[in-house]
Structure 1
Amino acid sequence: MPSRLETADHIVILGYFLLLIGIGLYFWRHMRQASDLFAGGRTVPWWLSGVSFYVTGFSAFTFVAYSEMAYRYGLVAVTLSWSAAAAMLAGTIFLAPRWQRARILSPVEFLEARYSPAIRQVLAWTGIPLRIIDGGLKIYATGIFVSVGLGYDLRWSIAGSGLVMLLYTFMGGLWAVLVTDYVQFIVLSVAVIVLVPLVFSRVEGLESLSAGAPADFLSPIGGPITPLYVLAFYMLVMLSYNGNWAYAQRFYSVRNEREARKAGSLAVALMVIGPPLFILPAVAARTLLPELMVPPNTPQYTYAALAVEFLPAGIMGLMIAAMFSATMSTLSSDYNVVASVVTEDIYRRLFDPGASERRRVLVGRLATLAVGLVTVGIGVLLTATAQRGLFEVMVTVFGLFVGPMLLPTLAGLLSRRLTHRGAAAGILAGFTSGISLYLYKAYVLTARPDVDPTWLRFDYEALTILTNIGVTAGAMVLVTLVERVTPEDRRRIAAFFDGLARPIAAPAPDATAAPPPFALIGHVTLGTGALLMIAAVVQTAGVGRAINVVAGGALVLVALVLYAVHRRVVARLAAAP
C-alpha cells in the first residue's frame, strides 16, 4: 500500500516527537534520587497514574493483534480485550494497598523480605527477558503499521521511534513516562474518535457488518475461540496484569492507598470504554475491506488499511502518531521498571549495597539505555523472522512465563502460609511444565496429520496455560503443606506482613522534587493542539482541515482548564502551613 503522507502529516509526527523529547529534558533536573527516577517521588497524582495505567496497556501490538482478530473472528475480540478490565479491577480491590505498603522502588524488591534472596534474584533475572521479548513484539507491531502507513523503511522506522522513546525515558524517569502517557492518551483518543464515525458512515446497517463473514461473527464468543480459550486467556491476563512490573509501579508511585485505588478505578473505567472504540472499526473492515483476506495482503494490516482508506490527508499523521504513542507508552514504562529491577535488585543488591543516590540514578539511566537498545534490536530482528500471528505469539510467550513467575509473586503479597521453598517449587515445576508442553507441541503434535491445526493453535494453548498455572499452584501448595516451617521463616513472614498492615505515610514536601504537573501538561496539550492547527493551515480546504481545526481547538480548551487547575493548586500549596 503506498504512503499518503503529506506536509501536514509530517508536521504532526515531527512535532509530536519534539514534544516527547522536551518532556524528558524538563524532568532531567528533578531526577535527584532513585525514588524520583523509579517511583516519581511517590507524589504522582492519582488521575495521572490512572491514565498511565490504562495507556500502558495499549501499544501498536494491541491495535495490530486485536484488530486482526476482530477482522477474522468478529466481536470475540472485544470479549478478550475486556479481560484487562477484569484484571485491573481485581488488582485495584486486592493488591493496590499491598503494593503501596510494600515500600519498594522495584516490583521484585519485596521478594527478599518475603521469601529469600535467591527467589528475588531468580524472578528478577527471568523477568527481564520476558519484558524485553514482549517489548520486541510491540516494536515489531509498530513496524507493521509504519510500513503500510508511511512507506518508510521498516527497520529505520523501528529504530528511530524506539530511540526517541528511549531518550525521554533515559532523561526524565517515571515522571517523563507518566506525562508522555497523558500526551499519548490525548493523541490516541483523538485519532480513534475521528476514525470511528468516518468508518461507520460507510456501513449500511448492522446486518452488513457480518456480510461475507462467519455466522458467529457478531457473537461474543465465536470462530476458533472457544469458552475454554476465553477462560484460559482471562486467567493469563489476570496474572500478567496484576504481576506486571509497570502496573505495580503505578500503584506504589502515588501518595497513599486511597489514591492507588482511585488510579486503578479510573483505569478500569477507561479499559471498559476504550477497547470497543478501537475494535469496532476493525469489525466493520471485514465488510469494507474484503481484499485483506487475499494474499499478499493480511488482516494484520487492518488498522493501517483503515487509516489509509478513510482518514483525510493530514489526519493520517495523527494516526501514525497514535500508533507510535501507544507503543511508546508501553515500552517506556517497561524500560523504566526493568531499569529499576536492574538497579535495585541486581546492581545494588549484588554489587554495591552502599551505592549513593547519585550512583543509583546513573546506573538506572545506563540500565534504561541498555534495555532499550536490546529491545529495539529484537524488534528489528523480528521484521525478518516473525511468521505467526502476533496474538498467538504473545499467548505462547506469556503462557510459558506467567504461571511460574507471577503466581509466587502475587501469592507472596496475599498469603502468609506460602514459604520460600513452596515458591521455589512452584517456579521450578511451572517452568518445567510450560517448556515440556511447548516442546511436545512443537516437535510431536505439529508433525501428526491427525491433529487439527486450529485446535492446536487455540484449545491446546488454552490447556497449556491452565495446566501450567495448575502445576505451579499445586507445587506451591504441596511443598508448603508438607514442609516444616522453621522459626526463622516464621519471623521473616511475620515481619513482612506486619509491614503490610501499616499504612504508608505520605512523603514530606521536597523543594527539589518535580512540581505539580498541571502546567506542564497544559503546555503539552496546548502544543498538541497547535500542531493540529498548523497542520490545518498547510492543508487544502476540506474535511481534513475541518477535523484538524475542531480537534486542535478542543485541545486548546483542555489546556486552558489545566492552567486554571494549576493556579488553584499552587495557591493552595502556598497557603498551606
Structure 2
Amino acid sequence: MNYFSTDAIIVYAFLFITLAVGLWAGRNVKSIKEYAIANRTYGTGVLTITMLATYLTGSQAIGYAGHVFDNGVFFPFITRVFCGVIICFLFIARYIAPKMYRFAGCLTLAEIMGKLYGPKVRIWIGILGTLYSLIMVTLQIIWLGYIGDFINIPSQWSIFLGGVFLMFYASRGGMKAVAITDILQFVAITILIPLAANVLLHRFDGIRDMFTHVPSENFNFFQHLNINEFLIPFLWYLFPAFPLSFPFMQRMLMAKDTRQIANSHYIATFYLIGFYLLLTFIGLAAIALKTMGDVNIPHQGSKIFIYLVKTYFPVGIKGIVGIGLLAAVMSTADSFLHSAGMLVAHDVIGPLLQTKKTKIDVLKISQYATFSLGLIAFCIALSYQSLPRILYGDIHWGKGINIFRDFVAIVFTIPMIAGIMGLKTDAKSFFISLIATCITFFIGKLFLSDLWFMPVTIIINAVSFFGAHYLQNKGFLTVKRDEILVT
C-alpha cells in the first residue's frame, strides 16, 4: 500500500488539523464543570453542531444508502427518518427539553438518575454507562480501520493515528476540545454527502435520466417486506435510547436554557431530513448504475457506498470522502469517550470515595480515566479484525460486543424519561426493572428470534418498572420536580 498517496495525505492533514484544534481548544481547562459541559458558554449553533456530529456515526452514510439499495425508498425513510429522527427529536424538543431546567447543575446522565432515584442508582448507571460508551468508542475506532482500507491506508495505521489523536485531545480538553473539533468534523461530514451525490449525478444525463433507470418497485413501500419485517424496526426506531444516551444528555446539560435545547433539536431535525434525502439519492444512483449494466455492483447494500467511492470517484475526491467518513467516526468516538471518562470519575469513583470522606481531584481523575478508557478501546480495536455490524442485514454484529450496549440502553431509557416527565421515583422500582430486564435479556437471547428479541425486552422493562411503581404507590403518582428531586 502507498502510505503517501494523494488521498492518504489529505486524510493525514485532516487528522493533524483535528489534533491541533482539539489541543488548542482544550487548553487551560481548570474545573470539572468546564471539562464536562464547557461552563455552558456555547450558543445554539455550536450546541446543534456538536449534537449532530455525535449523532452521525461512521455507519450512517454507508448504512442508509445501503438500506435504500436493498429495500427501496419508503421503508428506510419511515423507520430511520420518520420514527428515528422526526418523532424522537420532536418528542425530546417538546416534552424533555422544557423540563431539563430542573437538573441545572448536573454534569452527566448518571447524575440526573441519581437526582431521580438516589445515589446507588447513580453509581450503577455510571458503571453501565461507562461500558456502554466504551463499546461505542471501540466500534467507531474499528471503523477507522475500515475507512483506511478503502483509501489504501493500512487499517492498523489508520486506527493508530485516529485512535491516538482522539485520546489526546478528548482527555486533555474535555467538552471544550470535543465541541470545537466537532465543528470541524461536522463541516467535513456536511461536505461529504453533497459531494458524493454530485459526483454520481455526473454519471447520468441529469436527475431525470437517473430516475428513469430506477425500477418502479424501488418506490413500492412493501418492496421486500412482510409485516414483521416492517413492524419491529418501526418500533425499535421509535425507542429514543440513542438520542437520549450519555453524550446527548451532556449536550442538553451544557445548554444555557431549555429554549436552546428545544431549538437545537428542531434545527437538527431539518438538517437530518436533508442529510438522509441525499443518502437516498446515492442509494437510488447505485440502483440505476446496476440497471445500466454495472455487473460488479455488490448484491449487499452494506457494501454499496464503499464500492461507489472506489469505482466512480477520482483521486483527491476519495480523500475528501475519506475525511467525511473519518469525521463521522471521530466526532462520535470522542463524544462517547469523553462521556465514559466523566462517568467513571464523577459518578463512580467520586461518590464511592466521598462516602469514605476522601478528598479527590475529579478533574484530574476524569482526564486520566478518559485517556485510559481510550487506550483500552484502542487496543481492542487494533486486535479486532471484524467490522461492527451495520444496522441491518446479516452482517456480523462485531462478535456480539454490542449486546451489552443494547441492554444498557433499555435499562436507563424508560426510567429516565418517566422521572424527567414527573413520575414519582424510587430506587426499588428501578432495580426491579433492572433485574427483570436482565433475566429477560439473557433468556430471550436463547429462546426468542432476533426479530422479536428487542421489542419483548423493552416491553418487559416497561411493564416491570411501571408495575412496581403502581403496586408500591397503589396507583400512578407524579411529583413536582421543582420541589422534590429524590422521593
Sort the TM-score into its range (normalised by shorter chain): 0.7 to 0.9
Q: CA deviation at 1:287?
A: 3.7
From 411, 417, 431, the equivalent of 1:404 is: 411
5+ residue gaps, structure 2: none
3-state secondary structure, aligned to 1:108: helix
Distance 1:68 1:37, change over 3 A: same
Matches within 5 A, 1:328-339: 328-339=330-341
Amino acid at match of 1:275: Y
Structure 2: how far apart are the matches of 1:318 and 1:27? 24
1:66 and 2:58 matched: no
The one-character-per-residue Cα deviations of 1:270-296 (angstroms, maximum 9, x if unpaired) are 1121122134213322342552436xx
Partner of 2:176: 175
Q: 1:355 to 1:336 in 2, by over 3 A?
A: farther
1:45-74 CA-partner distances (Å, limit 9, x unpaired): 111111111121112222233333233223
Matched, 1:123 2:93: no
C-alpha change, 1:279 and 1:142, in structure 2 (3 Å) is farther
1:218-251 C-alpha deviation (Å, 9 max, x unpaired): 3345424733123222233x23322x11111111
Q: 2:430 aligns with which of 423, 432, 455?
A: 423
Distance in 2, matches of 1:87 and 1:380, equals: 35
**Pairing 1:175-254 to 2, within 5 Å after superposition:** 175-203=176-204, 204-210=209-215, 216-220=217-221, 222-224=223-225, 226-236=229-239, 238-242=240-244, 244-254=245-255
1: CA distance, partners of 2:180 / 2:322 = 20
* Cα distance change of structure 1 residues 387 and 324 upon mapping to structure 2, 3 Å threshold: closer
Alignment of 1:359-378 (within 5 A): 359-378=361-380
- 8 A contact 1:251–1:263 mirrored in 2: no
SS at match of 2:23: helix
Sort the Cα spacing of 1:233 and 1:484 in 2 relative to 1 into closer, same or farther, 3 A: closer
Q: CA deviation at 1:4?
A: 11
Amino acid at match of 1:470: I
Cα 1:324–1:381 shift into 2, 3 Å: same
CA gap 1:305/1:379 in 2 versus in 1, 3 angstroms: same
Following superposition, the deviation at residue 41 of structure 1 comes to: 0.5
Using the alignment, how far apart are the partners of 1:159 and 1:28 within structure 2?
22
Query: What are the residue-to-residue correspondences of 1:456-535 with 2, within 5 Å?
Result: 456=449, 460-461=450-451, 463-483=452-472, 496-498=481-483
Moved more, 392-401 or 77-86: 392-401
Aligned partners of 2:347 and 2:404: how far apart in 1? Answer: 24
Residue type of the alignment partner of 1:231: F
Which residue, out of 329, 346, 349, partners 1:347? 349
Q: Kindly provide the CA deviation profile for residues 83-137 of structure 1, in whole angstroms up to 9, marking residues without a partner as x.
A: 1332122111111233343120111102223212222222221222222223322
1:5, CA displacement in angstroms?
A: 7.5
Q: What is the aligned partner in structure 2 of residue 558 from structure 1?
A: none
Counterpart contact for 2:170–2:177, Cα < 8 Å: yes
Kindly indicate whether the alpha-carbon contact (under 8 Å) linking 1:79 and 1:220 is maintained by their aligned counterparts in 2: no
What displacement does 1:157 show? Answer: 1.6
**SS of the counterpart of 2:270?**
helix
CA contact (8 A) 2:353 2:359 kept: no
Rounded Cα–Cα distance in structure 1 between residues aligned with 2:223 and 2:29:
49
Contact 2:130 2:340 in 1 (8 A): yes
**TM-score, reference length from structure 2:** 0.86
Residue deviations 1:492-539, cap 9 Å, x none? Answer: x96854267xxxxxxxxxxxxxxxxxxxxxxxxxxxxxxxxxxxxxxx
Tell me if structure 1 keeps the 8 A contact 2:56–2:328: yes
Q: Which moved more, 1:73-82 or 1:186-195?
A: 73-82
Is the CA contact (8 Å cut-off) linking 2:38 and 2:176 kept in structure 1?
A: yes
**Which amino acid counterpart does residue 241 of structure 1 have in structure 2?**
P
Aligned to 1:551: none
In the other structure, the counterpart of 1:554 is: none
Indicate the SS of the match to 1:209.
coil
CA contact (8 A) 1:17 1:164 kept: yes
Pick closer, same or farther for the CA change 1:330–1:178 going to 2, 3 Å.
same
How far apart are the structure 2 equivalents of 1:85 and 1:155? 37
Deviations 1:290-342 (A, max 9, x none): 52436xxx543322222222323212111111111111111111011111111
Aligned partners of 2:225, 2:373: CA distance in 1, in Å? 36
CA shift, 1:19, in A, is 1.7
What are structure 1's unaligned runs of at least 5 residues?
Answer: 442-455, 501-577
> Quick one: structure 1 residues 259 and 121, their matched pair in 2 at CA, closer, same or farther if it must change by over 3 Å?
same
**SS in structure 2 of the partner of residue 327 of structure 1:** helix
- 1:6–1:313 contact (8 Å) kept in structure 2: no
2:187 and 2:459 map into 1 onto residues whose CA distance is 41
Equivalent position of 1:267 in the other structure:
268
* RMSD, aligned CA: 2.8
Contact 2:147–2:326 under 8 Å retained in 1 = no
SS at match of 1:383: coil
Change (3 A) 1:68 1:121: same
CA distance in 2, matches of 1:333, 1:267: 17
Aligned pairs (5 A) from 1:95-174: 95-103=96-104, 104-148=106-150, 150-174=151-175
- 8 Å contact kept, 1:170–1:369: yes
Q: Is the 8 A contact 1:404 1:429 kept in 2?
A: no
Residues 369-414 of structure 1: CA deviation (Å, up to 9, x unaligned)? 1221222233334424x58655463986655332222211222211
CA gap of 1:389–1:35, structure 2 versus 1, over 3 A, is: closer
Provide the identity percentage.
17
Cα 1:473–1:133 shift into 2, 3 Å: same
The residue aligned with 2:443 is: 436
- 1:80 alignment counterpart: 79
TM-score normalized by structure 1? 0.74
Q: Cα distance 1:387–1:484, how it changes in 2: closer, same or farther (>3 A)?
A: closer
- Following the alignment from structure 1 to structure 2, what is the Cα–Cα distance between the partners of residues 497 and 430? 30
